[in-house]
Amino acid sequence: MKVLANDGISLAGEQALKEAGIEVLNNRVAQDHVIKFINENNVDVLLVRSATKVKQDIIDACPGLSIIGRGGIGMDNIDVEYARSKGIKVINTPTASSKSVAELVFAHFFSLARFLHESNRLMPLEGETHFNALKKSFHNAYELSGKTLGVIGFGSIGQEVVKMGIALGMKVKVLTRKPRTEVLTLSFFDGQTVNFEITSTNDTDAFLKDADFISINTPKTNEYIIDTPQFEKMKDGVYIVNTARGGVINEVTLLDFIESGKVMGAALDVFENEPTPELPLLMNPSLSLSPHVGGNTVDAQEKIGLELAEQIIKLKKETIQ
155 with 21, same domain? Answer: no
Inter-residue contact 182 to 159 (CB < 8 Å): yes
| pTM score above 0.95 | no
149 with 20, same domain? Answer: no
Q: How many domains does the chain have?
A: 2
- Alpha helix segments (H runs only) across 127-227: 131-137, 156-167, 204-209
Helix axes 98-113, 156-167, angle to 10 degrees: 50
Active site residue 274: yes
Other beta carbons less than 10 A from residue 166's beta carbon = 17
101-128 per-position pLDDT tens digit: 999 999 999 999 999 999 999 999 999 9
pLDDT of residue 200: 98
Q: Tell me the residue range of the domain where 57 lies.
A: 2-93+298-320
CATH number at residue 16: 3.40.50.720
Active site residue 121: no
Residue 97 is which amino acid?
A: S
Active site residue 245: yes
105 with 127, same domain? Answer: yes
Q: Which of 19, 126, 232, 274 is catalytic?
A: 274
DSSP characters over 74-128: --TTB-HHHHHHTT-EEEE-TTTTHHHHHHHHHHHHHHHHTTHHHHHHHHHHHTT
279 with 154, same domain? Answer: yes
* Overall average pLDDT of the 12-34 stretch: 96
287-309 per-position pLDDT tens digit: 999 999 999 999 999 999 999 99
* Overall average pLDDT of the 133-139 stretch: 95
pLDDT band per the 50, 70, 90 thresholds, residue 23: very high
83 with 206, same domain? Answer: no
Q: Does residue 27 register a pLDDT over 80?
A: yes
154 with 41, same domain? Answer: no
pLDDT of residue 163: 98
Q: Does residue 275 register a pLDDT over 70?
A: yes
183 with 241, same domain? Answer: yes
* More confident site: 51 or 263: 263
Q: Which of 103, 292, 302, 310 is catalytic?
A: 292
pLDDT of residue 321: 57
Q: Does residue 144 register a pLDDT over 70?
A: yes
130 with 241, same domain? Answer: yes
154 with 250, same domain? Answer: yes
37 with 156, same domain? Answer: no
Rounded CA gap, 264 and 287, in Å?
9
**Average pLDDT of the chain?**
96
Q: Which of 70, 108, 117, 245 is catalytic?
A: 245
32 with 106, same domain? Answer: no
Rounded CA gap, 179 and 201, in Å?
5
140 with 224, same domain? Answer: yes
